[in-house]
Chains A and B, each alone.
Chain A
Amino acid sequence: MTAAAPPQAASQRPAPAPARIRRPAVPAILAVVLIGLLALGVLVSASNGAFAIPLGDIVASIAHKLGLGGAPVEGTGEGVLWNIRFPRVVLGLLVGACLACAGTLMQGMFGNPLAEPGIIGVSSGAAVGAVAAIAFGLTFAGNWTISLCAFIAGLATVSVVYLMSRSGGRTEVVTLVLTGVAVNGLAGALIGLFIFYADNDEITAITFWQMGSLSQATWPKILAVLPLAAVGLMTAPRYARRLDLLSLGERSARHLGVDVERLRLHLIVIVALLTGAAVAVSGVIGFIGLVVPHLLRMAAGPGHRALLPLSTMGGAAVIVWADLAARTVAAPAEIPLGILTALVGSPFFFWLLRRTRRHQGGWA
């Protein structure tokens, strides 16, 4: 025994520390704010449009449908509300929730705050599947065909991007962004090819869909993507803890008991489900999955247990308000939603890139 110092575990070990000062306050407050924004967005969005419906009538109509008294909106209002406005709002909620949730998961699994379905090409990949389904008039799964094709193509794309952009258990920013450029390029070419072979009706359908708009919303469309979205959104929070550990790097996560290979596989499938669901109905709506998780991470901290549900709510709220803006700012014309989010999101992406480069190693 050549030890110089006596063991001093017993003497140095402090008495049990006082309960940790936890700060549940910030995530809780954010959750309340986001739910408020979401509810208000739903009502305002349902009320505004070519045919204005007063907020009070909307609340009464909802109460009526739920059998809580109230009354249907008079005249055509009831039909506009339930067959046009609400499907659109609900579809917006779903799409926004899926995109923001997928963005959060991808940032966690890539260990990189710039990962996002649109930027790294997963959305375009899923879009190839959707366009193929439209162009070839596929109907093998009925109403679910487009969603299913988007999911399968999205799955293939996430897998490829993941395999190609990693080295040493991590993904460098440059590799990730360049992989995105390559994948987006290939997807664009394939979509172009499908359009080239499509007939006029199909081209119209593809163009409407590709602009990233919620204007085609109907209840059957919602049902068509609901299974994918619901499975993705409900399973995602189960991975929150493991995503936290993954931020230490794959090796350290494994040292702490995470089955990294299995986690990776599950996350790829969930991201494909969420992105496929969003893309199948609304085309490529970019930057939601980038901006929403990022801002919420700055406000609530990087822990995924709070971040995943907050991002899901945040994404839904942002899309509802953005869609309201898209169809009212230039009324009676409608700006495609995808263009609006890109207008706001791209400068944010620039800013993030510069910031990330400044603090290499300290992603925040």
Chain B
Amino acid sequence: MRLRRRHSGDPGPVPDLPAAVSGATVLLGGTAVLRGVDLDVRAGEVLGLVGPNGAGKSTLLAALSGDQAADEGRVSLWGRPVGEWSTVDIARRRAVLPQAHRVSFPFTVRDVVEMGRAPWAGTARRDADDRRIAAALALTEAEPFAQRPFTSLSGGEQARVMLARVVAQDAGLVLLDEPTAALDLRHQEMVGRLCRSLAAEGRAVVIVLHDLDLAAAYCDRTAVLAEGRIVACGPPADVFTADRLTEVYRQPVKVDLDPDTGSPRVTPLRGVPNPGRRSGLLDISHG
């Protein structure tokens, strides 16, 4: 048994199962966005959430972060229902990178990253502030603009700074919602490597991704979501089959193995007609 300090203070080492979802159903405006989802989030592992738009990936992440209460089922962090944690105690355990990045006032990049250290104010880990901030800036390659106002940066730079803030928070559970959306090729790979190093430190990383190749290359397990359910969950090599992805995305794909790494590569088939029903809307001959 690991020692678990439930109230304030240092959260201690990350347990084997920092987060678990069982039978979670979330209704938004009467529609079930998640339907009975079960998911274990394991320490030392990068877990990818993939699936088409509206599949419930962000909602699942919001349920894990405590932003969205489950209407049915149970979400627990560190073995305790997510709703029972105080905001500070939970902030010392999980960090969240949201999709949108906005800062109301022209704080410098370093100020923004330093905000990630807020949960540790008044604790022993406070001494690590400067070291963690410097490391986070270095890992996300945000050092060159550390003294610039956040509001003056490009979208991709802002995304990296927010990622640095999440890294600086030093949480055992790291939840990332599309961290690569605004990033160039090099920095997408950087995010992948960053996730691996966070997992290697014993943290659990949950990452929402649209790029299936990136998911295949860097995730230990991927959960494929469709219409609020987890269709499959496991190592990408097992989960990413051409049939499954074709069905889930309603887009024919082929899957082969990268000769260098052995991880699956997903390529949309562009020469074949889309199996989806023809709506006639784009058929200009009707016009």
* Bound CA–CA A302/B87 (angstroms): 25
Are A256 and B116 in touch, CB under 8 angstroms? yes
Are B103 and A247 in touch, CB under 8 angstroms? yes
B139 closest partner in A (C-beta): A12
Are B218 and A3 in touch, CB under 8 angstroms? yes
Interface assignment of B145: CB less than 8 Å from any CB of chain A: no
* Bound CA–CA A251/B192 (angstroms): 25
Nearest CB of chain A from residue B108's CB, rounded to whole Å: 8
From A5, A12, A363, contact of B105 by CB (8 A):
A363
- Interface hits, A1-49 → B, CB 8 Å: 1-9, 12-14, 16-17, 19-20
Q: Which residues of B contact A8 (CB under 8 A)?
A: 193, 196-197
Q: Which residues of A contact B108 (CB under 8 A)?
A: 301
How many B residues, CB 8 Å from partner? 59
Interface assignment of A185: CB less than 8 Å from any CB of chain B: no
Nearest CB of chain B from residue A300's CB, rounded to whole Å: 12
Q: Which residues of A contact B236 (CB under 8 A)?
A: 2
Are A9 and B201 in touch, CB under 8 angstroms? yes
Q: Which residues of A contact B88 (CB under 8 A)?
A: 257
Q: Which residues of A contact B121 (CB under 8 A)?
A: 241
* Bound CA–CA A112/B103 (angstroms): 10
Interface assignment of A121: CB less than 8 Å from any CB of chain B: no
Are A2 and B107 in touch, CB under 8 angstroms? no
Are A17 and B91 in touch, CB under 8 angstroms? no
Are B263 and A248 in touch, CB under 8 angstroms? no
- Interface hits, B99-115 → A, CB 8 Å: 100, 102-108, 110-112, 115
Q: Chain B contact residues: over half helix, strand or loop, or mixed?
A: helix
Interface assignment of A297: CB less than 8 Å from any CB of chain B: yes
Interface assignment of A354: CB less than 8 Å from any CB of chain B: no
Interface assignment of B72: CB less than 8 Å from any CB of chain A: no
* Bound CA–CA A257/B201 (angstroms): 23
Nearest CB of chain B from residue A63's CB, rounded to whole Å: 43
- Interface hits, A242-260 → B, CB 8 Å: 244-249, 251-252, 254-259
B91 closest partner in A (C-beta): A257
Q: Which residues of B contact A125 (CB under 8 A)?
A: none
Interface assignment of A303: CB less than 8 Å from any CB of chain B: yes
Q: Which residues of A contact B56 (CB under 8 A)?
A: none
* Bound CA–CA A77/B87 (angstroms): 59
B100 closest partner in A (C-beta): A249
- Interface hits, B61-104 → A, CB 8 Å: 65, 67, 87-88, 90-92, 94-96, 98, 100, 102-104
Q: Which residues of A contact B95 (CB under 8 A)?
A: 255
Are B65 and A363 in touch, CB under 8 angstroms? no
A-B contact pairs, 20 of them (CB 8 A): A1-B220, A7-B201, A8-B197, A12-B138, A13-B138, A16-B134, A17-B134, A20-B133, A170-B102, A248-B102, A249-B100, A249-B104, A255-B96, A256-B119, A257-B119, A301-B107, A301-B108, A301-B111, A361-B102, A363-B104
Contact surface of A with B, Cβ cutoff 8 Å? 1-9, 12-14, 16-17, 19-20, 111-113, 170, 241, 244-249, 251-252, 254-259, 297, 301-303, 359, 361-364
